[in-house]
Structure 1
């Protein structure tokens, strides 16, 4: 789209590759460049993928004069195509459909179609189609299973069952891999980190205080795209685990959590193999964090640290993600009696409503109905475990 930069963005490349379907007469190259530069990396990747999908569908469909600006009827057909799926493609979930439409709307605005006329994505038939698909599927967006600490948050509570942070920590040995995994698990829970914040943590972001506790400076996050920064409190236990990992790995600067390459020599005359560990220089990826988490869950089960119903190991592992630490800490803080506003502030949620959504099952046991009717009809309200 622009001619003064040698490396156009992924969004510009997709638009340029489908120039016949995109009306750019009202577009300002400078506005497009500025809009793309303002996007967070994850947002840019999502919009690129969504735009590529829509334009490819329009190209394969006849007749479609232009994809942008789109006709509401075109968007309705596109939504039905996404939701239906095929033999090789599963039908998209309502949350995915909403995101695809939001990306299309944003591209329309960037290209100058957000003036006086309403966007095609705002047409009644498009909104009604989304509502109809959502009602038909009746599917609540899947929430990552929580990873709670594993201890009662208040007197009289029973500790949570299943996979817990304490069980995962107990599965970590004293070797270099165990030290890294324990530090990662402990930090992720204490600070309620998003996976991008976890893999983005560097040594210089860590500081320790006289009482043994520490702080993690979070320079960028999902809700802080301008980089104003935030501080997260870390327990003394987490600081001990971080210190052990950094000392053993020799990491003095750069990313805190990295891949560990394991090299094994051929067996010697006695059949022994020499195992060497090499610490990488680049940070762990999102996929790497999930792989570590799932491996630790299975090891905790094998060691008898976690009791699951027979055959539930696979479902349990699949239900966990890097976001599970954040969900688990949110639920633990609710169980301890903290309010939504305080939790949202501590975990950098965009609003207390978001925090409450992640603790819905715990909060319902202590809501107004539970407190009042519990006194009158028995089963009095208790702070949920």
Structure 2
């Protein structure tokens, strides 16, 4: 008879089995886990993991604790208390993920699932809140005004292409930096589609498409012609004529948005949020917004648009219609 697979029971059984294994056998398995992790996780994820573990080890050294797995649940609960009020709840949860992964890599049970740890996290959220900071919205009208102010220098032509891509496609900065010239798919009406080979929500490369308007397509084609880019070259790269054709860092794309708009508080993600605001404002339904932004669940676009949704909600409509 079929029995439902229980990941936690299977993991615990593996830990128990390994606890009695010879040291050499255990070290060999841990080494293999580390090698496979290097291929399974994105480079940025691995860098974040190492950074988090380093911070946890520093805290343990400063407080006279040991960071070697297995770490006692009481230690993790105290660590959460120390982070409370200084870090956002989502950041604390990310650090707990890294500590859990450290234990998985050592084939030790994670202390982060212990009830003491759950209660400590719940207490921090209750005392300091669990709200998620959202990037300021940069809506289409403001983005268009910024693009019109850009001139025709090599740098500004590149920046125009970046702004059009970010505004039209609602792509993340990491997705924009990954585009190659061959990912631009022209359409008969003058618009284009951009092939998104991989993304944050598609790490295994199922692929998706993002929209690029007629004006956006023209700006990108002007940049490709000026920079003499070939099919395999990055679509957005350094603006200097003799520069090596390497993809722009995602942080550079955000700097282009700041420079183009003259705003220090925005980033590339602000155009993604602004696109959602515009879509809700003109009455697009949530499913169409999810398709445009390539979201697999409605949680994030609904969160981005909650200010617009509140402004267009039932109470707002009643207030407009019934004035006396």
Normalising by structure 1, we get a TM-score of 0.72
Question: Residue 272 of structure 2 aligns with which residue?
Answer: 326
Contact 1:214 1:236 in 2 (8 A): yes
- In 1, Cα distance between the equivalents of 2:251 and 2:321? 50
Contact 2:135 2:273 in 1 (8 A): yes
Question: Residue 102 of structure 2 aligns with which residue?
Answer: 107
Gapped regions of structure 1 (runs ≥ 5): 1-23, 85-90, 151-163, 262-276, 299-316, 380-385
What do residues 268-326 of structure 1 show as CA deviations (whole Å, max 9, x unaligned)? xxxxxxxxx5443111112211222211122xxxxxxxxxxxxxxxxxx3321111111
Contact 1:341 1:351 in 2 (8 A): no
- In 1, Cα distance between the equivalents of 2:96 and 2:28? 21
Question: Residue 37 of structure 1 aligns with which residue?
Answer: 39
Question: Residue 310 of structure 1 aligns with which residue?
Answer: none
Give 1:269-280 correspondences, 5 Å limit: 277-280=241-244
- In 1, Cα distance between the equivalents of 2:65 and 2:257? 48
- In 2, Cα distance between the equivalents of 1:210 and 1:342? 22
Higher helix share: 2
C-alpha deviation, 1:63, in angstroms? 4.4
**Residues 1:75 and 1:211: Cα distance change in structure 2 (over 3 Å):** same
C-alpha deviation, 1:353, in angstroms? 1.7
**Is the counterpart of residue 215 in structure 1 residue 193 in structure 2?**
yes
What's the secondary structure of 2:244's corresponding residue?
strand
C-alpha deviation, 1:57, in angstroms? 2.5
Question: Residue 7 of structure 1 aligns with which residue?
Answer: none
**Is the counterpart of residue 73 in structure 1 residue 74 in structure 2?**
yes
**Residues 1:25 and 1:176: Cα distance change in structure 2 (over 3 Å):** closer
**Residues 1:31 and 1:378: Cα distance change in structure 2 (over 3 Å):** farther
- Of 61, 64, 75, the residue aligned with 1:62 is 64
What do residues 250-280 of structure 1 show as CA deviations (whole Å, max 9, x unaligned)? 112311111224xxxxxxxxxxxxxxx5443
- Of 89, 99, 122, the residue aligned with 1:131 is 122
Give 1:220-231 correspondences, 5 Å limit: 220-231=198-209
C-alpha deviation, 1:369, in angstroms? 4.4
- In 2, Cα distance between the equivalents of 1:146 and 1:221? 21
**Residues 1:83 and 1:234: Cα distance change in structure 2 (over 3 Å):** same
- Of 239, 248, 262, the residue aligned with 1:284 is 248
User: Number of residues paired by the alignment?
Assistant: 298
- In 1, Cα distance between the equivalents of 2:37 and 2:224? 39
What do residues 187-234 of structure 1 show as CA deviations (whole Å, max 9, x unaligned)? 111110101001111101112112101111011100111111111121
C-alpha deviation, 1:92, in angstroms? 2.3
- In 2, Cα distance between the equivalents of 1:214 and 1:194? 18
**Residues 1:109 and 1:377: Cα distance change in structure 2 (over 3 Å):** farther
Question: Residue 175 of structure 1 aligns with which residue?
Answer: 153
Aligned-residue Cα RMSD (Å) equals: 2.3
